[in-house]
Amino acid sequence: MRESAGQPDSALPDDRDARLQAYLDGELPQDEAAALEADLESDVSLRGELDSLRAADSWLRREFAGEVGAEAPPLPDADSIPGGNPIPFGLPPQLVAMAAAIAVIVGGFLGYQAVTAPATFNGQDAYNLAAASFTPDVICDTPEKFRDYTSKTLGVTIDADFTAPVALIGWTGVDGRYIEAGNVAPRVLLAESAGGERIITIFVRDDQPRPALRGDATINRFTRTIDGVRVYELTPLDEPVVLGVLSAE
């Protein structure tokens, strides 16, 4: 508004902006900073521009407040790959085997070969084995049952669109019963795409240990967080189909 002869340091808009931004970054030499502060006293327009630049930074800090103090989740234990059980909970052997299969598949999605993985590891075979071995012991075949089960086992109510072009076959719990809070076993939802491909979806709460990750590029993995629940979709398809039909209440 006012680039008058009385404001020689801010004669050009670009200079003016560069000067303000350098001031904001604490990069102006002391004498130049003092001169700018004097200008700010008398130039309302200049002060308004500085306020807007500051407000931009403030908005970014508020918008991304959660990122600044974010803590790294534990890295997977390399020693538990590939033979061990990377999901630490005491379960019947068949369920431990299932969990190990899940872990293998989850890792398969990443598309990276683990340090200790044998060169011949085949993620597709592991996926096929796991997909065929699941026997749903809790069937959530209606939206109401699905919501009730997620609420009781995950502490979060998740909705699923049962009219979507994917069949949600069932939900596998650890032992077929509702699990008390604090149990760290993953919940597994089985689904079938319109083309008949079986899809495994794993739900893990953010405060629970995650399946270990290891690698093979032959399985696709997609993830999404719904209200503090991490959902992994393991699929032979190139695109996720289950994640798109889930939503928080």
Partner 1 sequence: MAELRLANQTLTREEFERLYREAYPTLRVVASAVASRAFAEDIVQQAAIVALQRLDRFEPGTNFKAWMSAIVRGAAKNQRRSERRHRDRILKSADPGDGTESAGGASGGGRRSIPGEIPGEIEPELRNALASLGPQQRTCILLKALFDHSYDEIAAIVGIPSSTARSHVHRGRKKLAEILGDSKGMG
Restricting to residues 142-201, which ones interact with partner 1 according to CB under 8 A?
Answer: 161, 164-165
- # residues contacting partner 1 (CB under 8 A): 54
Q: Which of 62, 83, 132, 180 binds partner 1 (CB under 8 A)?
A: 62
For 166, the 3-state DSSP assignment is strand
Characterize the bridge pairing of strands 158-160 and 187-193. Answer: unpaired
Helices 13-24 & 30-42 angle (0-180, nearest 10): 120
Q: Is 70 in the site for partner 1 (CB under 8 A)?
A: yes
Q: Is 11 in the site for partner 1 (CB under 8 A)?
A: no
Token pair belonging to 61: 């800090």
Does residue 123 contact residue 216 with C-beta atoms inside 8 Å?
A: yes
Restricting to residues 77-136, which ones interact with partner 1 according to CB under 8 A?
Answer: 78, 110-115
Nearer to partner 1 among residue 34 and residue 217 (C-beta): 217
Backbone angles phi, psi at 106, to 5 degrees: -55, -50
Q: Is 17 in the site for partner 1 (CB under 8 A)?
A: yes
For 204, the 3-state DSSP assignment is strand
Nearer to partner 1 among residue 135 and residue 225 (C-beta): 225
CB of 49 to partner 1, least distance (A): 7
Pick from 115, 186, 189: which is nearest to 159 by CA? 189
Of 2-10, 72-80, 120-128, 136-144, which part binds partner 1 (CB under 8 A)?
72-80
CB of 31 to partner 1, least distance (A): 21
In eight-state DSSP terms, residue 69 is: T
Distance CA 28, CA 181 (A): 56
Cα 61–chain centre separation: 20
Q: Is 64 in the site for partner 1 (CB under 8 A)?
A: yes
Q: Is 71 in the site for partner 1 (CB under 8 A)?
A: yes
How buried is 146 (Cβ within 10 angstroms: 0-12 exposed, 13-18 middle, 19+ buried)? Answer: buried
Per 3-state DSSP, what percentage of the chain is helix, strand, and coil (rounded to 5)? 40, 15, 45
Q: Is 43 in the site for partner 1 (CB under 8 A)?
A: no
Q: Which of 37, 55, 92, 155 binds partner 1 (CB under 8 A)?
A: 55
Q: Is the peptide bond before 82 cis (omega within 30 degrees of 0)?
A: yes
CB of 47 to partner 1, least distance (A): 11
Nearer to partner 1 among residue 17 and residue 175 (C-beta): 17
Q: Is 211 in the site for partner 1 (CB under 8 A)?
A: no
Binding site residues, partner 1, CB under 8 A: 17-18, 21, 25, 48-49, 52-53, 55-64, 67-73, 75-76, 78, 110-115, 161, 164-165, 213, 215, 222-227, 238-240, 243-248
